[in-house]
């Protein structure tokens, strides 16, 4: 076997954080190539999901690729023995596997080494067949498995049920330009599609003096109606904390290739300010726009006098670009300066 810069070893409890981070990176990859079936999740949400499934369907073993103390890949295996002696299928002892490799380590033999180690473990534990699932869109993974002798033995088929003519497409939330609006999970917040039944709580948030001061001089009712109107140029989310509506965050996109970028806007009621919740919401949205929507640049434009908002955005990685003079009208009827801030891919904190 050729020399390599990593070793394959059994995972330990100390690796749990690294395994969640690998699965997070894999989820982002899948959400990019197949957004209809995958969504962006935070590392903490994935760690919680892993604990959930480990309790219900505990794996039999996990192996990791260790490069000088850094986990760069993992494979997990579940040994499955026939349970029904009367099943028409030929009884087999199968080892089902799931694998993730860090993007920076791909193309270096990590995936191949993990797959071969998984087969060796399965053979030693009585398995006579390996089994795995792969997304049809995941061409790189399919090439690896085919090279190692894996064959397609069936197809899982599905069909999108189209709505009746004239109705909106709704998948897991509000409709937006024929796409489903995803639910995003941060460390402390859930960003979900804004719904019509949020109206009362939304008006209450918009009526909060700390929000009304900066958001919209036309009043809470008008603002709420606009946010719920399903404007095709804006994608609007509710910020939910422990089941309570804390505020709203939205993004808009410039899709002209020469100027492609996305902009963010956010407001939250005073009861949720100063607790790191706004920071988490902006960070979660920014990560989705950069890693899933594929933008290289994001903008946000607080009032130049809104020091609290500017501080939050700077914590996430936004930088001041310049002052936009007399940019927006305030509650006093006069136009105030705005601050343009932006962030490039790789600057997210």
Q: Look up residue 185 and give its two tokens.
A: 């999970």
Q: Give CA separation, 251 vs 48, 87, 193, in Å.
A: 27, 52, 12
Domain match, 185 and 332 both: yes
CA 152 to chain CA centroid, nearest Å: 29
- Sign of the CA dihedral 284, 286, 288, 291? negative
Let me know if residue 80 belongs to a domain.
yes
- Of 180 and 185, more confident: 185
For the segment 229-237, the average pLDDT, to the nearest whole number, is 85
Question: Hey, which bits of the chain come out as E strands?
Answer: 7-10, 61-67, 70-80, 94-101, 129-131, 175-176, 179-180, 184-185, 190-193, 234-241, 244-254, 261-268, 297-300, 319-329, 335-344
On whether residue 164 sits in a domain, the answer given is no
**Last residue of a domain, which of 109, 130, 147?**
147
Has residue 184 been placed in a domain?
yes
pLDDT of residue 323: 95
**Using 50, 70 and 90 to split pLDDT, how confident is the model at 178?**
very low
Q: Quick one: tokens of 170?
A: 């709704």
Q: Do 299 and 340 share a domain, yes or no?
A: yes
Long-range contacts of 206-213 (CB under 8 A, 24+ apart): 206/267, 208/269, 208/270, 209/270, 210/269, 210/270, 210/273, 211/247, 211/267, 211/268, 211/269, 211/270, 212/331, 213/330, 213/331
The pLDDT tens digits of the residues spanning 236-251 come to 999 999 989 999 999 9
Number of domains in the chain: 2
The whole-angstrom separation of Cα 79 and Cα 87 is 18
Q: Is residue 170 part of a domain?
A: no
Question: Is 162 inside a domain boundary?
Answer: no
Reported as a single tens digit per residue, the pLDDT across 27-36 is: 878 877 777 7
Same domain (yes/no): 114, 185: no
Say whether both 212 and 334 belong to one domain.
yes
Using the 3D structure, point to which of 147, 165, 186 is the last residue of a domain.
Answer: 147
CATH code, domain with 186? 3.40.630.30
Task: Answer with the one of 132, 147, 162 that is the final residue of a domain.
Answer: 147
Top pLDDT among 43 and 3 is at 43
Together in a domain, 135 and 224: no
Is residue 239 classed as helix, strand or coil in its secondary structure? strand
181 and 273 assigned to the same domain: yes
> Under a CB-based contact definition with an 8 Å cutoff, are residues 31 and 23 in contact?
no
* Residue 209 sits in the same domain as residue 270: yes
Can you tell me the distance from the alpha carbon of 276 to that of 291, in angstroms, rounded to the nearest whole number? 22
- Residue-level pLDDT at 3: 53
Tens-place pLDDT, residues 242-275: 989 999 999 999 988 889 999 999 999 999 999 9
In the sheet that 234-241 helps form, which strands lie side by side, from edge to edge?
184-185, 190-193, 234-241, 244-254, 261-268, 297-300, 335-344, 319-329
Is the residue at 140 inside a domain?
yes
pLDDT single digits (tens) 83-142: 888 889 889 999 999 999 998 888 899 999 999 999 999 999 999 999 999 988 888 889
> Per the confidence metrics, is the pTM higher than 0.75?
no
- Kindly state the average pLDDT of the residues 15-24: 92
Question: Domain range holding 37?
Answer: 7-147
Tokens 């894999």 found at: 26
- Please report the pLDDT score of residue 162 as a whole number: 66
Cβ atoms < 10 Å from Cβ of 206: 22
Same domain, 143 and 37: yes
């Amino acid at each position: 076997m050729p020399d390599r810069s990593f070793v394959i070893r059994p995972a330990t409890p100390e690796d749990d954080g690294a395994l969640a981070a690998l699965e997070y990176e894999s989820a982002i990859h899948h959400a990019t190539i197949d957004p209809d079936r995958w969504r962006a999740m935070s590392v903490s949400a994935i760690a919680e999901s892993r604990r959930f499934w480990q309790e219900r369907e505990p794996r039999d073993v996990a192996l990791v690729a260790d490069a000088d103390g850094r986990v760069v890949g993992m494979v997990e295996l579940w040994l499955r023995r026939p349970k029904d002696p009367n099943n028409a299928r030929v009884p087999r002892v199968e080892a089902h596997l799931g694998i993730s490799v860090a993007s920076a380590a791909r193309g270096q033999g990590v995936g191949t080494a993990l797959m071969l180690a998984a087969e060796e473990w399965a053979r030693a534990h009585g398995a006579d067949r390996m089994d795995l699932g792969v997304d049809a869109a995941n061409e790189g993974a399919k090439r690896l498995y085919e090279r190692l002798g894996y064959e397609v033995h069936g197809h899982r088929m599905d069909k999108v049920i189209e709505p009746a003519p004239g109705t909106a497409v709704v998948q897991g939330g509000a409709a937006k330009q024929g796409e489903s609006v995803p639910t995003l999970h941060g460390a402390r917040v859930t960003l979900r599609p804004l719904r019509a039944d949020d109206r009362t709580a939304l008006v209450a948030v918009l009526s909060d003096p700390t929000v009304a001061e900066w958001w919209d001089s036309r009043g809470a009712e008008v603002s709420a109606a606009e946010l719920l109107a399903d404007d095709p140029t804006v994608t609007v989310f509710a910020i939910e904390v422990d089941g309570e509506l804390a505020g709203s965050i939205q993004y808009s996109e410039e899709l002209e290739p020469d100027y492609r970028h996305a902009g963010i806007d956010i407001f939250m009621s005073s009861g949720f300010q100063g607790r790191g919740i706004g920071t988490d919401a902006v960070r979660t949205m920014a990560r989705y726009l950069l890693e899933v929507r594929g933008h290289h640049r994001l903008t946000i434009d607080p009032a130049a006098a809104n020091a609290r908002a500017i501080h939050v955005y700077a914590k996430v990685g936004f930088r001041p670009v310049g002052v936009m003079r007399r940019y927006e009208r305030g509650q006093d009827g006069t136009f105030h300066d705005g601050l343009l801030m932006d962030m490039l891919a790789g600057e997210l904190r």
